Protein backbone atom coordinates (compact mmCIF):
# COMPACT_ATOMS: atom_id res chain seq x y z
CA UNK A 1 0.00 0.00 0.00
CA UNK A 2 1.57 3.28 -1.08
CA UNK A 3 -1.12 5.71 0.06
CA UNK A 4 -0.75 6.98 3.63
CA UNK A 5 -3.11 5.49 6.17
CA UNK A 6 -5.39 8.18 7.61
CA UNK A 7 -5.18 9.06 11.28
CA UNK A 8 -7.55 7.13 13.50
CA UNK A 9 -9.48 10.33 14.22
CA UNK A 10 -9.65 11.58 10.62
CA UNK A 11 -12.90 11.38 8.65
CA UNK A 12 -13.22 8.18 6.65
CA UNK A 13 -15.00 7.37 3.41
CA UNK A 14 -16.89 4.77 5.46
CA UNK A 15 -16.71 3.24 8.91
CA UNK A 16 -17.41 -0.49 9.10
CA UNK A 17 -19.15 -1.65 12.28
CA UNK A 18 -20.15 -5.19 13.26
CA UNK A 19 -23.62 -5.69 14.74
CA UNK A 20 -23.91 -8.03 17.76
CA UNK A 21 -25.69 -10.78 15.84
CA UNK A 22 -25.02 -13.98 17.75
CA UNK A 23 -27.07 -14.66 20.89
CA UNK A 24 -24.88 -17.72 21.50
CA UNK A 25 -21.85 -15.44 22.02
CA UNK A 26 -23.55 -12.61 23.93
CA UNK A 27 -25.99 -14.58 26.12
CA UNK A 28 -27.99 -12.24 28.39
CA UNK A 29 -25.93 -9.20 27.28
CA UNK A 30 -27.08 -9.32 23.63
CA UNK A 31 -29.76 -6.65 23.90
CA UNK A 32 -27.47 -4.32 25.88
CA UNK A 33 -24.67 -4.83 23.33
CA UNK A 34 -27.04 -4.05 20.48
CA UNK A 35 -28.23 -0.88 22.22
CA UNK A 36 -24.61 0.23 22.75
CA UNK A 37 -23.64 -0.43 19.13
CA UNK A 38 -26.78 1.35 17.95
CA UNK A 39 -25.74 4.42 19.97
CA UNK A 40 -22.26 4.29 18.43
CA UNK A 41 -23.63 3.96 14.89
CA UNK A 42 -26.08 6.82 15.37
CA UNK A 43 -23.31 9.06 16.79
CA UNK A 44 -20.97 8.24 13.91
CA UNK A 45 -23.63 8.74 11.25
CA UNK A 46 -25.31 11.77 12.80
CA UNK A 47 -23.02 14.28 14.52
CA UNK A 48 -19.91 12.50 13.22
CA UNK A 49 -21.17 12.52 9.61
CA UNK A 50 -19.43 9.23 8.88
CA UNK A 51 -20.84 6.88 6.26
CA UNK A 52 -21.46 3.75 8.33
CA UNK A 53 -21.56 0.26 6.85
CA UNK A 54 -23.22 -1.88 9.51
CA UNK A 55 -22.42 -5.55 8.92
CA UNK A 56 -24.99 -8.04 10.18
CA UNK A 57 -23.62 -11.53 10.83
CA UNK A 58 -26.85 -13.54 10.70
CA UNK A 59 -29.32 -13.49 7.82
CA UNK A 60 -32.32 -14.13 10.08
CA UNK A 61 -31.97 -10.74 11.83
CA UNK A 62 -31.10 -8.66 8.75
CA UNK A 63 -34.65 -7.32 8.25
CA UNK A 64 -34.98 -6.51 11.96
CA UNK A 65 -31.78 -4.44 11.94
CA UNK A 66 -32.73 -2.75 8.64
CA UNK A 67 -36.01 -1.69 10.27
CA UNK A 68 -34.15 -0.45 13.37
CA UNK A 69 -32.07 1.90 11.20
CA UNK A 70 -34.73 2.77 8.61
CA UNK A 71 -34.55 6.46 7.82
CA UNK A 72 -31.20 6.97 9.56
CA UNK A 73 -29.01 8.91 7.14
CA UNK A 74 -25.50 7.68 6.40
CA UNK A 75 -26.16 4.10 7.58
CA UNK A 76 -26.14 1.16 5.19
CA UNK A 77 -27.04 -2.23 6.66
CA UNK A 78 -24.97 -4.94 4.98
CA UNK A 79 -25.39 -8.72 5.16
CA UNK A 80 -22.20 -10.54 6.05
CA UNK A 81 -20.61 -13.47 7.79
CA UNK A 82 -18.57 -13.05 10.94
CA UNK A 83 -18.39 -14.25 14.52
CA UNK A 84 -16.88 -11.36 16.48
CA UNK A 85 -18.01 -7.77 15.95
CA UNK A 86 -14.46 -6.40 16.22
CA UNK A 87 -14.12 -5.74 12.48
CA UNK A 88 -11.16 -3.46 13.20
CA UNK A 89 -9.08 -6.61 13.71
CA UNK A 90 -10.54 -8.71 10.91
CA UNK A 91 -11.16 -6.17 8.14
CA UNK A 92 -8.74 -4.64 5.64
CA UNK A 93 -6.73 -1.44 6.10
CA UNK A 94 -7.50 1.32 3.60
CA UNK A 95 -5.02 4.01 2.59
CA UNK A 96 -6.08 7.62 2.05
CA UNK A 97 -7.34 7.85 -1.53
CA UNK A 98 -6.01 4.38 -2.26
CA UNK A 99 -7.66 2.19 -4.85
CA UNK A 100 -6.65 -0.94 -2.93
CA UNK A 101 -6.66 -2.03 0.71
CA UNK A 102 -4.27 -4.26 2.63
CA UNK A 103 -5.62 -7.53 4.01
CA UNK A 104 -4.02 -10.09 6.28
CA UNK A 105 -4.60 -13.60 7.48
CA UNK A 106 -6.56 -13.72 10.73
CA UNK A 107 -6.28 -16.59 13.20
CA UNK A 108 -8.82 -15.78 15.91
CA UNK A 109 -6.42 -13.96 18.20
CA UNK A 110 -3.92 -16.77 18.24
CA UNK A 111 -6.66 -19.42 18.28
CA UNK A 112 -8.25 -18.08 21.50
CA UNK A 113 -11.48 -17.03 19.78
CA UNK A 114 -11.62 -18.76 16.43
CA UNK A 115 -15.12 -17.88 15.22
CA UNK A 116 -16.62 -18.92 11.88
CA UNK A 117 -16.47 -16.19 9.26
CA UNK A 118 -13.95 -13.91 10.96
CA UNK A 119 -11.29 -14.91 8.44
CA UNK A 120 -13.67 -13.82 5.62
CA UNK A 121 -14.43 -10.28 6.82
CA UNK A 122 -11.67 -8.54 4.85
CA UNK A 123 -12.82 -10.16 1.61
CA UNK A 124 -16.44 -9.26 2.26
CA UNK A 125 -15.59 -5.62 2.93
CA UNK A 126 -13.39 -5.49 -0.16
CA UNK A 127 -16.14 -7.00 -2.30
CA UNK A 128 -18.88 -4.74 -0.94
CA UNK A 129 -16.82 -1.57 -1.27
CA UNK A 130 -15.50 -2.52 -4.71
CA UNK A 131 -11.95 -2.25 -3.42
CA UNK A 132 -9.37 -4.80 -4.57
CA UNK A 133 -7.36 -6.23 -1.70
CA UNK A 134 -3.64 -6.75 -1.51
CA UNK A 135 -3.32 -9.93 0.55
CA UNK A 136 -0.32 -10.22 2.85
CA UNK A 137 0.75 -13.72 3.78
CA UNK A 138 1.11 -13.20 7.50
CA UNK A 139 -1.23 -13.09 10.47
CA UNK A 140 -2.17 -9.70 11.82
CA UNK A 141 -4.95 -7.98 13.72
CA UNK A 142 -5.71 -4.59 12.18
CA UNK A 143 -6.62 -3.18 15.58
CA UNK A 144 -3.05 -3.75 16.74
CA UNK A 145 -1.98 -0.77 14.63
CA UNK A 146 -2.64 2.88 15.41
CA UNK A 147 -1.93 5.47 12.68
CA UNK A 148 -1.42 9.23 12.94
CA UNK A 149 -1.87 9.97 9.19
CA UNK A 150 1.70 11.19 8.86
CA UNK A 151 3.44 7.83 8.57
CA UNK A 152 3.83 7.01 12.26
CA UNK A 153 2.42 3.65 13.31
CA UNK A 154 2.17 2.39 16.87
CA UNK A 155 1.66 -1.28 17.51
CA UNK A 156 1.40 -3.69 20.38
Q: How far apart, in whole angstroms, are the C-alpha atoms of residue 33 and residue 147?
A: 27
Residue 151 confidence (pLDDT): 86
Any domain includes 134: yes
Asked, for residue 94, whether it belongs to a domain, the answer is: yes
* Strand stretches in the chain, DSSP E: 15-19, 52-56, 75-79, 93-94, 101-105, 133-139, 145-147, 153-155
How many domains are contained in the chain? 1
Residues 83, 67: Cα–Cα separation, whole Å: 22
Establish if 9 belongs to a structural domain: no
Whole-number Å distance between alpha carbons of 80 and 117:
9
Based on C-alpha coordinates, what's the Rg of the chain? 15
Q: What is the pLDDT along the chain (156 residues), one digit of tens a residue?
A: 456 788 888 877 899 999 999 999 998 999 999 999 999 999 999 987 889 999 999 999 999 999 999 999 999 999 999 999 999 999 999 988 878 899 999 999 999 999 999 999 999 999 999 999 999 999 999 989 998 989 888 988
Q: What is the CATH number of the domain that holds 131?
A: 3.75.10.10
Task: With respect to residue 60, please indicate whether it lies within any of the assigned structural domains.
Answer: yes
CA–CA separation, 58 and 56 (whole Å): 6
Tell me the pTM. 0.92
Residue 145 within any structural domain of the chain:
yes
Query: Has residue 7 been placed in a domain?
Result: no
Q: Whole domain around residue 121: which residue ranges?
A: 15-155
Whether 56 is covered by a domain: the verdict is yes
Length of the chain: 156
Neighbours of 107 (CB within 10 A): 15
**Residue 2 within any structural domain of the chain:** no
Backbone torsions φ then ψ of 24, nearest 5 degrees: -70, -15
Amino acid sequence: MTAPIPAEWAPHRAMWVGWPSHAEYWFEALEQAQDEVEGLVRALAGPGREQVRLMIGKADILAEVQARFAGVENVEVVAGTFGDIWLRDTGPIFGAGSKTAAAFRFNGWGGKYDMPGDDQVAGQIGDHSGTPLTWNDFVMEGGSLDHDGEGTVLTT
